[in-house]
Amino acid sequence: MRILTIAMLAVATLPLVLPAQEAASGPGDDPPPGYKSMNEVKLAVLTGQLKLINPAIEVPASVEVRKEVEYGKGGEQALKLDLYLPRKLERPVPGLIFIHGGAWKGGRRGDYHYYCVKFAGQGYVVATMSYRLLPKSPFPAAVQDAKCAVRWMRANAKRLNVDPNRIGVIGGSAGGHLAMLVGYSSNPELEGTGGHAGVSSRVQVVVNLYGPTDLTTSYATSNGTVINFLGGKKIEEARKQYELASPITHVTKDDPPTLIFHGTIDDTVPIAQADKLAEKLKATRVPYRYDRLKGWPHTMDLAEVINRRCRRLMTEFFKKHLLKP
């Protein structure tokens, strides 16, 4: 489950709440037209018809950035995050934690600088975190680190001016998978011992951008990256671990509202993964919104037009589920 960098994408591959769900779209809310294939996406990028975001966007004067903040320990490894804080906060605000992708073996927290700047500019306290990676640290290390980051934010809520009862996690690809496990799982094995014992890792909102939801399916069980993530064991040897590592197996009716983004021509994480999650959330009556984007690939939010849509729908979702009284 590789995550495409902007350079790779350009050159290589490139609501009203119902009882349990929200409409995927409403009048006038049609998504941008997509593409028939990755070759078309490639051509659109190379010819300038599809513009990409600037990942190194400047930080406005209204936002303070604190880098290399230690939020816990992964064994002997110091775990770091970057903080984006609105200046002159007068009251506690919701906190957002972004979790980068990269097949659990790559990527970096700076990949979410763009989102962090944008949402801090809207008044949220935002963090983007690093976590332990493969091959040194297989499952459940990355999940434990993500939960530790939530505990850190809640434990430090007062000095950060964060409302400890309004924290959301957002992730793309492998980061989406980790965000879902943070939101849905309550298994003590996934908490870890990275720090802030006794503080809850529960979150109030989950945003999943094209993350894998069920690692027991054939797409995942035949994927070398997934096998490595599960410590090199195939599902026949460790089915319980595959189930434990699958967000969909943890879903219960008391889980946080979830916003899902996925493109139908995703050749890294099949659209069926998101479809299956939406069905499970509906069946268990967890509030959700599913933005199923026809003709868009993995890491589609690198495109300006999709990124604007993602940020708009996130803002609406946060307003409903994090900003409500």
SS (H, E, C) the chain: CCCCCHHHHHHCCCCCECCCCECCCCCCCCCCCCCCCHHHHHHHHHCCCCCECCCCCCCCCCEEEEEEEEEEEECCEEEEEEEEEECCCCCCEEEEEEECCCCCCCCCHHHHHHHHHHHHHCCCEEEEECCCCCCCCCCCHHHHHHHHHHHHHHHCHHHHCEEEEEEEEEEECHHHHHHHHHHHCCCHHHCCCCCCCCCCCCCCEEEEECCCCCCCCHHHHCCHHHHHHCCCCCCCCCHHHHHHCCHHHHCCCCCCCEEEEEECCCCCCCHHHHHHHHHHHHHHCCCEEEEEECCCCCCHHHEHHHHHHHHHHHHHHHHHHCCCC
* pLDDT over threshold 50, residue 14: no
- Greatest CA separation for the chain: 55
Fold of the CATH domain 6-55+71-321? Rossmann fold (3.40.50)
* pLDDT over threshold 70, residue 325: no
User: Measuring CA to CA, which residue among 156, 163, 146, 140 is closest to residue 97?
Assistant: 146
CA 175 to CA 145: how far, in whole Å?
A: 12
Q: Using one digit for the tens of pLDDT, what is the confidence trace for 102-158? A: 999 999 999 999 999 999 999 999 999 999 999 999 999 999 999 999 999 999 999
Q: Using one digit for the tens of pLDDT, what is the confidence trace for 209-255? A: 999 999 999 999 999 999 999 999 999 999 999 999 999 999 999 99
Contact 191, 66 (CB under 8 A): no
Mean pLDDT, the chain, whole residue set: 92
b or e along 243-277 (b: 16 or more beta carbons within 10 Å of the residue's beta carbon)?
ebbbbbbbbeeebbbbbbbbbebbebbbbebbbeb
Q: Given pLDDT bands bounded at 50, 70 and 90, which one contains residue 51? A: very high
In the predicted model, what is the mean pLDDT of residues 1-7?
39
Q: Given pLDDT bands bounded at 50, 70 and 90, which one contains residue 35? A: very high
CA 129 to CA 99: how far, in whole Å?
A: 6
Structure tokens at 280: 């499970």
Q: Given pLDDT bands bounded at 50, 70 and 90, which one contains residue 29? A: confident
Q: Using one digit for the tens of pLDDT, what is the confidence trace for 155-184? A: 999 999 999 999 999 999 999 999 999 999
* pLDDT over threshold 90, residue 277: yes
Q: Using one digit for the tens of pLDDT, what is the confidence trace for 261-274? A: 999 999 999 999 99
Q: Domains of the chain: which residue ranges?
A: 6-55+71-321
In the predicted model, what is the mean pLDDT of residues 272-279?
98
Q: Name the pTM for this structure.
A: 0.93
